[in-house]
Amino acid sequence: MNYVSRERLQKIHEASMRMLERTGMKYHNPKAIEILKDHGIRVEGNVAYFTEEQLMYWARKAPSTFTLYARNPKHNIVIGGSNVNPAPLYGCAHIADKNGVKRQATIEDYVNYAKLFHANDDFHVDGGLMVQPFDVPIPSSCLSMFYATYTHSDKAMFCVAGKEEYMDAMLKAAEVAYGGKEELLRHPHLITIVNANTPLQLDVMMTDVLIKFAEYGQPIVIAPCDMAGSTSPVTLAGTIAMSTAEALATIALAQMVRPGTPVVMGSQSTTADMKTGQIAIGAPEGALCYRYLGQMAKFYQLPSRAGGALTDSKVVDTQAGIEAYMTFLACCQNEVNFIIHSAGILDGYAYTSYEKVISDFEVVRYVLRYLREFDINEDTIPLDLIDEVGHDGEYLTKDHTFQYCHTEPLAPTLCSRGNVQDAAHQYELNIEKRYAQLMEAYQEKAPVCDQEVLNKIKDIFVEQGIDRELLDKIEAM
């Protein structure tokens, strides 16, 4: 772990506390204002002012670790501590081909992505807003995506935030799927994102989502995305202090709704490009923000979320590889617990591609292997074999090599070794091959769903205006 000194973390903490006491946090939803007033927080208009004592009192109500339960128990994950959990991308509206030509995503793309993440053993979470399908009604698409994830994966469930009535329907569906509200309160099965706006605000819809999920005890990822020099101070210290304040003020609200609600302290903060004003998610300053977020969350004894395999590149190229590896490694080295965007992001979150998903899967494999310690014992340091081979022998044909050759070195699925005529073209071919392998593997791993449960979920969603034929189509994909 790449430690930051306690002194530096304390300075950021103190600045965040002063920020929330002096500038305050603006809440646009009247429900939030009433909750804050009821719990003794000073409010002027729609701006709340916290003392350090108040903030820390509520932040300490949140668990330092929690388990997110999957339909298939082998995919249960622990979020918090030193655990690192890669998770799918979130928020892309368009898909690009390998040449960067963009098109609108469809529900079939969404299902394909769900299948890819289900087939990949490095991921135990599926779903979320992996792509925004444009061939389904947009306002209620959070329910279409919920149904697509539930029918095509039995991993831990990442849900898309939406309007209050759709959150009600989603949580009712979860009661059907997982055995009732009390079971959800005991064993959380859903996780969603509530993004604080910057500078220092929380909007109406995000507040509604926070309240609904907190009432059900379902985990909430709270993650501002400050852009240094644009929506937050240009200095990293100022940006990190602001994003810390935004996250803590939102966490406090969640705990007021239901003390003990699992939350994940997050930050997607990075710098703005000073030439264009656009977000620069592949910048080293972003990686530094993720490093400090991981450390600040530990400072508060909270689970953390940041980063991912991020890039500003428009295609899968050298830039994409450099930036994705840097940002994902920064998260892992600082024990960020829940890493959304671990595969698939291009062009500052603007779009995704199948090629980027597959390429990032390899980044995840490499980094997780780098993090995994190797055994040191008499068998892994084979002194007798070393004596036998001496100075003039070889190890390639030895039983010891055969014993460990499939588990000790990681075999690449995309990267080429040895003689290759056209390495760039070979990489493209390897991506196509890996995609086909994963989709074939999905057929063997595809979950079985209880049809009675599916019918009940469909009834709930049809009441919200979702076309039953659309749900049947999603189920059959």
Buried b (16+ CB within 10 A) or exposed e, 15-45: bbbebbbeebbbbebebbbebbeeeebeeee
Q: At what angle do helices 354-371 and 107-119 cross, to 10 degrees?
A: 20
pTM: 0.96
Looking at residue 188, its pLDDT comes to: 98
Looking at residue 99, its pLDDT comes to: 83
What is the separation, in whole angstroms, between the first and last Cα of the chain?
42
Question: What is the C-alpha to C-alpha distance for residues 280 and 269, in angstroms, rounded to an integer?
Answer: 10
Helix (H, G, I), strand (E, B) or coil at 35: helix
Among 181-195, 356-370, 409-423, 454-468, the minimum mean pLDDT is found in 409-423
Q: What is the pLDDT of residues 180-238, one digit of tens each?
A: 999 999 999 999 999 999 999 999 999 999 999 999 999 999 999 999 999 999 999 99
| Residue labelled with tokens 């490093």 | 291
- Average pLDDT of the chain to the nearest whole number: 97
Query: Long-range contacts: 348-351, Cβ < 8 Å, 24+?
Result: 348/278, 348/279, 348/280, 348/281, 348/312, 349/91, 349/92, 349/279, 349/281, 350/92, 350/93, 350/94, 351/92, 351/93, 351/94, 351/95, 351/96, 351/102
Sequence-distant (6+) residues with CB within 8 A of 61 are 255, 259, 260
Q: Which residue has the higher pLDDT, 27 or 99?
A: 27
The answer to whether residues 195 and 223 touch, using CB atoms and an 8 Å cutoff, is yes
**What's the average model confidence in pLDDT over 243-268?**
98
- Is the preceding peptide bond at 284 cis, omega within 30 degrees of 0? no
CATH number at residue 118: 3.20.20.480
Question: What is the C-alpha to C-alpha distance for residues 304 and 320, in angstroms, rounded to an integer?
Answer: 25
Q: What is the pLDDT of residues 281-309, one digit of tens each?
A: 999 999 999 999 999 999 999 999 999 99
| Residue 407 backbone phi and psi in degrees, to 5 | -115, -30
Sequence-distant (6+) residues with CB within 8 A of 73 are none
Which domain range does residue 75 map to? 65-371
Q: What is the pLDDT of residues 410-448, one digit of tens each?
A: 999 999 998 888 888 999 999 999 999 999 999 999 999
The answer to whether residues 34 and 256 touch, using CB atoms and an 8 Å cutoff, is no
Q: How many CB atoms lie within 10 A of CB 307?
A: 31
Q: Is residue 428, in this structure, part of any structural domain at all?
A: no
Q: Is residue 5, in this structure, part of any structural domain at all?
A: no
The answer to whether residues 64 and 302 touch, using CB atoms and an 8 Å cutoff, is yes
The answer to whether residues 176 and 456 touch, using CB atoms and an 8 Å cutoff, is yes
Looking at residue 83, its pLDDT comes to: 98
Q: Is residue 377, in this structure, part of any structural domain at all?
A: no
Buried b (16+ CB within 10 A) or exposed e, 207-229: bbbbbbbbebbbbbbbbbbbbbb
Question: What is the C-alpha to C-alpha distance for residues 327 and 270, in angstroms, rounded to an integer?
Answer: 11
The answer to whether residues 85 and 328 touch, using CB atoms and an 8 Å cutoff, is no
Burial of 205 (0-12, 13-18, 19+ CB in 10 A): middle
Amino acid at 297: A
Q: How many CA atoms lie within 13 A of 106 on its CB side?
A: 8
Q: Which residue has the higher pLDDT, 422 or 400?
A: 400
Number of domains in the chain: 1
| Residue labelled with tokens 């004003």 | 277
Q: Is the pLDDT of residue 467 over 80?
A: yes
Q: Is residue 381, in this structure, part of any structural domain at all?
A: no
Looking at residue 98, its pLDDT comes to: 83
Q: Would you mind telling me the total number of residues written for the chain in this entry?
A: 477
Question: What is the C-alpha to C-alpha distance for residues 183 and 216, in angstroms, rounded to an integer?
Answer: 10
Q: Is residue 388, in this structure, part of any structural domain at all?
A: no
Q: Is residue 434, in this structure, part of any structural domain at all?
A: no
Q: Is residue 266, in this structure, part of any structural domain at all?
A: yes
Q: Is the pLDDT of residue 1 over 80?
A: no
Largest separation between any pair of C-alpha atoms in the chain: 82
Q: What is the pLDDT of residues 154-191, one digit of tens each?
A: 999 999 999 999 999 999 999 999 999 999 999 999 99
Q: Is residue 398, in this structure, part of any structural domain at all?
A: no
